């Protein structure tokens, strides 16, 4: 079985829901507490043993490339000022030389197309795909758990979670079949179903392990929903010739592409931090009480 060494991060989206901030700051660089959204997702990949990070960017996203570069001047200033803790932290999360690649999705033609743009960098091996809008909080990373399952099943794996049945139209929805190892066989996949199109409320939460055959399928894929190339359509096609499993992730997922998810993530991560929790619990409780009384 081939090891999952590479991870693809599609970071080309415009982030219009966060205007005006995203006029100049990519949505992936907005901070949850004190770390950019993208760092949380990269940390999850690193924890899972990913060795090479592939970013599919777009125009006005070069700050992401700068962010993952070494900041030699900053490091030496921190050293001179004796800020060892900050320096070590930055050095610890710094990707090594040659372990990042950047390519551009020249036009916003959908998730399937963004993934396809990474085909030359991925090459002929299975890879992980992490959608940076989805930030997870769990004692063990979602991708780590998926890779454990992959070691038992091989094939393709999609992480899934339950959503409010009223919200299935926002996501890719999968059907949960019989148990295989720590996962499930996938019975159906439908992208942003209309009412009545599915009975499942298991949504694709933005983490995938895919075989390289997906690229050839995307290449022949027709433009579909929203005049985009949907990854889900290509996965459906691939599922005809290769096994697809679902991993039921039990941690928390914050959809940071929405204001609600982004704000929730900020509060949840702040409350999970020993250095911040005590400072914010009382003011947060007071704010909530004030709001409830007012309304």
**# residues near ligand G1P by CB under 6 A:** 12
Nearest residue (CB) to ligand G1P, 149 versus 174: 174
Query: What residues from 149 to 188 belong to the interface with ligand G1P (CB under 6 A)?
Result: 171-172
The correct pick among 32, 42, 134, 186 for binding ligand G1P (CB under 6 A) is: 134
Nearest residue (CB) to ligand G1P, 131 versus 209: 131
Nearest residue (CB) to ligand G1P, 78 versus 132: 132
Residue nearest to ligand G1P (CB): 172
Output b/e per residue, 228-262; b: 16+ Cβ within 10 A.
bbbbbbbbbbbbeeeebbbbbbeeebbbbbeeebb
Whole-number Å distance between alpha carbons of 134 and 141: 12
Residues 6+ apart with CB under 8 A from 109: 223, 228, 229
Least distance from ligand G1P to the Cβ atom of residue 24, Å: 22
The correct pick among 12, 232, 238, 262 for binding ligand G1P (CB under 6 A) is: 232
The correct pick among 29, 37, 114, 204 for binding ligand G1P (CB under 6 A) is: 204
Least distance from ligand G1P to the Cβ atom of residue 26, Å: 15
Nearest residue (CB) to ligand G1P, 171 versus 244: 171
Q: Is residue 231 within the footprint of ligand G1P (CB under 6 A)? A: yes
Cα dist from 217 to 61, 122, 195, 222, 234, whole Å: 28, 15, 28, 10, 6
Q: Pick the stretch among 35-43, 114-122, 201-209, 269-277 that binds ligand G1P (CB under 6 A).
A: 201-209
Phi-psi region of 226 (alpha: psi -120 to 50; beta: other; left: phi over 0): left
Q: Is residue 131 within the footprint of ligand G1P (CB under 6 A)? A: yes
Residues 6+ apart with CB under 8 A from 27: 13, 14, 15, 17, 18, 21, 37, 133, 256, 257
Nearest residue (CB) to ligand G1P, 29 versus 256: 256
Hey, CA dihedral for 100, 101, 107, 113, is it positive or negative?
negative
Residues 6+ apart with CB under 8 A from 129: 7, 8, 10, 115, 207, 208, 209, 210
The correct pick among 36, 193, 206, 246 for binding ligand G1P (CB under 6 A) is: 206
| Site residues, ligand G1P (CB under 6 A) | 111, 131, 133-134, 171-172, 191, 203-204, 206, 231-232
């Amino acid at each position: 079985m081939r090891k999952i060494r590479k991870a693809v991060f599609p970071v080309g989206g415009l982030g219009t829901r966060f205007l005006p901030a995203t006029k100049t700051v990519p949505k992936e660089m907005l901070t949850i507490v004190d770390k950019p959204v993208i760092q949380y997702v990269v940390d999850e990949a690193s924890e899972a043993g990913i060795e090479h990070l592939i970013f599919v960017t777009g125009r006005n996203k070069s700050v992401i490339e700068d962010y993952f570069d070494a900041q030699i001047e900053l490091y030496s200033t921190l050293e001179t000022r004796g800020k060892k803790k900050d320096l070590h932290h930055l050095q610890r999360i710094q990707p090594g030389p040659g372990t990042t690649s950047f390519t551009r999705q020249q036009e916003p033609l959908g998730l399937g197309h963004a993934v396809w743009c990474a085909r030359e960098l991925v090459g002929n091996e299975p890879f992980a795909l992490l959608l940076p809008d989805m930030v997870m909080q769990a004692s063990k990373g979602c991708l780590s758990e998926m890779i454990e399952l992959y070691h038992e099943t091989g094939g393709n794996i999609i992480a899934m979670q339950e959503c409010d049945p009223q919200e299935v139209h926002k996501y890719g929805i999968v059907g949960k079949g019989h148990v295989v190892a720590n996962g499930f066989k996938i019975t159906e996949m439908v992208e942003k179903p209309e009412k009545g199109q599915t009975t499942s409320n298991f949504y694709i939460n933005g983490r995938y392990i895919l075989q390289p055959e997906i690229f050839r399928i995307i290449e022949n894929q027709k433009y579909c929903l929203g005049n985009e190339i949907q990854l889900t359509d290509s996965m459906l096609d691939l599922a005809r010739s290769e096994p697809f499993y679902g991993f039921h992730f039990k941690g928390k997922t914050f959809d940071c592409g929405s204001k609600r998810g982004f704000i929730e993530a900020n509060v949840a991560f702040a409350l999970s931090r020993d250095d911040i929790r005590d400072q914010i619990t009382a003011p947060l409780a007071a704010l909530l009480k004030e709001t409830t009384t007012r309304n």
